[in-house]
Amino acid sequence: MKRALSLVLVFLAACDSRGMGGGWSAGSQSAAEGTAVARKHEKAIVKAAIMAVGRLEGTPLVAGVESKRGRRAVVDRALQRTATLKAKDRERAIATLLAIPDDWPRAKERRQRLRGIIVAIAQSDFAKKRFDAFESRCKEAESIAGSKKVAWCALARKRLAERMDKARFNDALAVLKTGEGTVFVDVASRVEGKARVAALWAKALRFAKAIEETAPETAFAIARGYPPHLKDALRAKKLAERLRPLVKAAPAPTQLATVSPLSPAPDPVSATAPDPVSATAPAAAPAPATKPAKPVRANLLASPIAQTFVIAGFATISMGAALLVRRTRARRAAARLAEEEVFTVRSFALATNHARCLICGRAFDLNARPVNCARCGTPHHIECWQYNRVCAIYACDSRKAA
């Protein structure tokens, strides 16, 4: 036994004299130094990325983070920073969230946050009547959410379509009042609402019947363009057939812009006498026979008693409507105040209770104001900050409180 032990000691001494042990120790020391340098470099990269994300400028620095712990720290800071944003910071927040790859942690929550910010910008564009920007933002939000549609965007598109259809309806009525039949048919064909189409063409048919003697061309154009699926299509067809020979026999088109059913008929007595030179010319074709005027019905509202009842009824309805409007506005104001109070509480809870103190792990109290880091803005309990004396965020190491 002693002999074997002595042989082992001699072998170790020989190895030490040749420098084998020294070589092993030098290799392990160089590997440890390389690992320490790599960790220090990674920590510096993570620290710079977190600082840039806190300023919403982390687009070029986020890609340099390689460790899982550093990526989670960057994502946590990005979500915390974009929880409550001002309107001027939304574009930079979108660029910061888009710079984080999808294979990093908390990808689903990050996509939801990104979609919420884009929808908020779309709501602002819709309120300012920038409909092209609103549509592009909604498409961007739907592309982030995949095949899922955004409910608010669908509702806003429906309201916008109704508003545009109402504007086309008003344009068609304005063209109808000018007496331009062909232009009216072209504009009225763009109206899409079923109720609006029926109301518009009903007014157009009444207008055509009123001007069929003074402006047959306009009346014929309106009657010929009447949609066949409406209920008065047969009447419009009969009117067009009755006006067709008058339109063919007319020597020149009527100036449609000045035609109106309310315009007075020309006075035959005040007409100028014919020129004797032109009297020798061949006589023109006789004008078509006009229809007898319709009998004028008695107006029931001409009596003072009927007018008194109408005025009293109108005043009663007006007072009731005003009272109803006041009550409705008061209810809406109360509901709006309640919603704003709930939104304020939720916003404060999102800014404080949604995050937890990274030192003790407990949620923040609504009545106690937390201490924020002066460098990255991470909230801490006052006691935890006094105990730790340094920011708890990974790679921040700030000792100043805001």
Residue 391 is classified by DSSP as -
Confidence (pLDDT) at 214 = 85
Give residue-wise pLDDT tens across range 242-274. 888 887 655 444 433 333 443 444 444 444 444
Give residue-wise pLDDT tens across range 208-235. 888 888 888 888 888 888 898 888 888 8
Give the mean pLDDT of 86-110: 87
Confidence (pLDDT) at 306 = 77
Calpha distance 191→144 (Å, rounded): 34
From its phi and psi, is residue 106 left (phi > 0), alpha (psi between -120 and 50) or beta?
Answer: left
Calpha distance 396→402 (Å, rounded): 14
Give the mean pLDDT of 117-136: 89
Instruction: Reply yes or no on whether the pLDDT at 279 is more than 60.
Output: no
Confidence (pLDDT) at 19 = 47
- State both tokens at 29: 């020391």
Write the single-letter amino acid at 310. V
Give the mean pLDDT of 381-394: 88
Confidence (pLDDT) at 4 = 66
Give residue-wise pLDDT tens across range 178-201. 877 788 888 888 888 888 888 888
Higher pLDDT, 2 or 305: 305
* Cα 139 to Cα 28, 59, 94, 157, 256, distances in angstroms: 57, 23, 15, 12, 45
pLDDT tier for residue 342 given thresholds of 50, 70 and 90: low
Contacts with 83 (C-beta within 8 Å, 6 or more apart), sequence order: 350, 351, 354, 355
What is the pLDDT of the chain when averaged over all its residues?
77
Give the mean pLDDT of 315-329: 91
Nearest to 208 by CA among 193, 188, 192, 191: 188
Which range has the worst mean pLDDT, 19-23, 28-32, 72-76, 259-263?
259-263
Neighbours of 126 (CB within 10 A): 21
Calpha distance 83→58 (Å, rounded): 16
Write the single-letter amino acid at 392. A
- State both tokens at 26: 């030098």
Check: CB of residue 187 under 8 Å from CB of residue 151.
Answer: no
Confidence (pLDDT) at 341 = 59
Confidence (pLDDT) at 302 = 63
Instruction: Reply yes or no on whether the pLDDT at 297 is more than 70.
Output: no
At 372, is the secondary structure helix, strand, or coil?
Answer: strand
Instruction: Reply yes or no on whether the pLDDT at 44 is more than 60.
Output: yes
Confidence (pLDDT) at 317 = 93
Confidence (pLDDT) at 334 = 85
pTM above 0.75, yes or no: no
Calpha distance 118→123 (Å, rounded): 9
Confidence (pLDDT) at 321 = 92
Phi first, then psi, for residue 10 (nearest 5°) are -65, -40
Nearest to 196 by CA among 157, 167, 225, 237: 167
Give the mean pLDDT of 33-49: 84
Higher pLDDT, 160 or 286: 160
pLDDT tier for residue 28 given thresholds of 50, 70 and 90: low
Nearest to 171 by CA among 159, 183, 153: 183
Neighbours of 106 (CB within 10 A): 16
Calpha distance 260→207 (Å, rounded): 9
Confidence (pLDDT) at 325 = 92
Instruction: Reply yes or no on whether the pLDDT at 116 is more than 80.
Output: yes
Confidence (pLDDT) at 27 = 55
pLDDT tier for residue 384 given thresholds of 50, 70 and 90: very high
